[in-house]
Amino acid sequence: MTASVLIAAAVAMAAAQPEGASVTDPAHWVELRAEALTAVIGDNEPMGSHHRKLYNGVFALTTPALAESPFVPAYAGLNLEHYFDARARHEKDTVFFEPRHAPMELRRTGDNTVELYQAATPFYGVESWTRFTVSAPHYIDMTYRCIPRKDGFAGGFMGVFWASYINAPADKSLYFLQAGSSLDAPRWVQYCTQVHGHASTVVHESDTFSAEFGEGEGSLFEDLSPLRYAEPFYYGLFRDHVLIFIFERGPVVRFSHSPSGGGATPAGDDTNPAWDFQLIVPGVKTGQEYGLRMRLVYKLWAGRADVLAEVRNAYATVLN
């Protein structure tokens, strides 16, 4: 499903809705364009009959060379999915997937910028602002800010989890730099978990934070891989394009992977992987602001040297 088809379907459905209906109200999503990138970004409401309710973030991405989006049309990329702490998975999805269920407001803040605002959530009490800026030629810059408004994070830390559901790539793997290597002396790791929830999170080579989680159904953030990464970025391949996820240095960022997190493909003969990431805030304090900045690059694949060039550029400009 292309971005243009998603939008056309949503507009058609909106026209058929009674006045005041918000099922496909464009106030809940917006299309942003740059030189070589078109992005559809929205809140927790659905868009037409194709994009489901509860999946905020980047609904679709297209380039002049590829009209097919790398994200599963029903879901999203850079989807604010979980808040978590040391407690076991809550039995209610409205808590476990709280950022998806709590009301969210889309604010257009510039020609190429949109912000998703969420008031303090009912269970964890996290107020947040997520700003997306699309810029030439092929960038989405995301800035996430939050303020915990309630005490009581079990284990004394806060976790924030984002999901990106990838649309049936031939290669489900993520690639990053092995611990002990660097941008100037890279050693690459191919990371593709065998089953959902097994060795599903990779931490930075200097990440010493640990937490004991309560008993219950395991989640991706609970099961650590023996692999460690050297620089906070990874990439994955989609058709003849590449998605590069680049994170600012400093915050405790972790990578997560699932071979099947995005559900079955339309043909039913394969699964869609999830290429996810987390922010860990040790020693979280009520009323204090925390956040994470990252850049998503989406472009034609031009090799690993080009990936490293994009990473260096990000650190020299927006993530410095």
Residue linked to tokens 């009959």: 49
pLDDT at 111: 86
Q: Read off φ and ψ for residue 138, nearest 5 degrees.
A: -155, 45
Averaged pLDDT, 19-31: 61
My answer on whether omega of the bond before 137 falls inside 30° of 0, hence cis, is yes
Question: How confident is the model over 52-71, as pLDDT tens digits?
Answer: 999 999 999 999 999 999 99
Structure tokens at 310: 């994009």
pLDDT at 3: 54
Structure tokens at 213: 């989680």
Chain-centroid distance, C-alpha 183: 23
Averaged pLDDT, 129-135: 98
Residue 313 has pLDDT above 90, yes or no: yes
pLDDT at 171: 98
Structure tokens at 23: 């099922």
pLDDT at 1: 53
CB distance 179 to 205 below 8 Å: yes
Using CA atoms, how far apart are residues 45 and 128, in angstroms rounded to an integer?
Answer: 17
pTM of the full predicted structure? Answer: 0.92
Question: How confident is the model over 189-239, as pLDDT tens digits?
Answer: 999 999 999 999 999 999 999 988 876 567 999 999 999 999 999 999 999
Residue ranges of domains in the chain, CATH in brackets: 79-316 (2.70.98)
Using CA atoms, how far apart are residues 210 and 197, in angstroms rounded to an integer?
Answer: 17
CA distances for 25 relative to 32, 248, 271, angstroms: 16, 34, 31
Residue 301 has pLDDT above 80, yes or no: yes
- Closest among 118, 126, 117, 119 to 151, alpha carbons compared: 126
Which secondary structure element, helix H or strand E, spans residue 197, and what is its range? Answer: none
Give the up-direction half-sphere exposure of residue 84: CA atoms within 13 A in the CB hemisphere: 27
Using CA atoms, how far apart are residues 49 and 6, in angstroms rounded to an integer?
Answer: 9
Task: Residue 256: count other Cβ atoms within 10 Å of its Cβ.
Answer: 25
Handedness of CA 193, 198, 199, 200 (dihedral sign): positive
pLDDT at 22: 29
Q: Can you tell me whether residue 318 is helix, strand or coil?
A: coil
